[in-house]
Structure 1
Amino acid sequence: MRMINNQFIIKIGLTIFLLLCLFNMPYGFYQFVRFFALIGFAILAYQSYQQSKEIEMSIYISLALLFQPFFKIALGRELWNIVDVVVGIGLIISIFMNRKTTDNK
């Protein structure tokens, strides 16, 4: 149950920060979001690995690489906004999907 709580907190936090990126923020905020996303997605990938969820693990690793702050991927503001919204919605959907699977057990 503790791992699910950690996943919930990380996913909600990531969603909030990604959606805040839609607003005009200082550059340092976007750098912080990149570091937070890298760490958050890495933790989610590790927890998925522990639960033998290879597909989720691969998705989280890919997202960690996409958001990592060291070798930036230049997509342009509009495309990054789309990515932020899609990933945020995906995280919210994954919260409800994980709740359904834990409720059925």
Structure 2
Amino acid sequence: MDKIIKIVLSVLLFTCLLDMPYGYFQLVRFAALIGFGLLSYKANQQSRQTEVFIYGALALLFQPFFKIALGRELWNIVDVIVGVGLLMSLFEKRKDE
């Protein structure tokens, strides 16, 4: 389930680089809040505190209620970094697996 969430979030974040209507960005914010919240919860269940912090921080960054105004260019950079990070985490080998 984690892999599906990461892939979906990556695709959503990469499509933010395209010229999309404002409503799409709102949808991405809600999806990111829910997705990163779930990833944080699952990481907490597996006692991976670093991932809990990272996913929790990303959930707060992307949350749609109190928007963080970074500007289009900076948000594009954040979207790419987070999207690439999510995809890279799919190929990470863990000692506990």
TM-score normalised over the length of structure 1: 0.89
Which segments of 5 or more consecutive residues in structure 2 lack a partner in the other structure? none
Map 1:1-105 → 2, pairs under 5 A: 6-97=1-92, 100-101=93-94, 105=97
Aligned-partner SS, 2:91:
helix
Aligned-partner SS, 2:9:
helix
Which segments of 5 or more consecutive residues in structure 1 lack a partner in the other structure? 1-5
**Higher-helix-fraction structure:** 1
Tell me by how many angstroms 1:73 deviates. 0.1
Deviation >4 Å, runs of 4+: none
Rounded Cα–Cα distance in structure 2 between residues aligned with 1:59 and 1:101: 17
Aligned-partner SS, 2:20:
coil
Count how many residue pairs are aligned between Structure 1 and Structure 2: 97
Q: In structure 2, what residue type is equivalent to 1:66?
A: L
Tell me by how many angstroms 1:101 deviates. 2.3
Aligned-partner SS, 1:70:
coil
**Once the two structures are aligned, what percentage of the paired residues are identical?**
61
TM-score normalised over the length of structure 2: 0.97
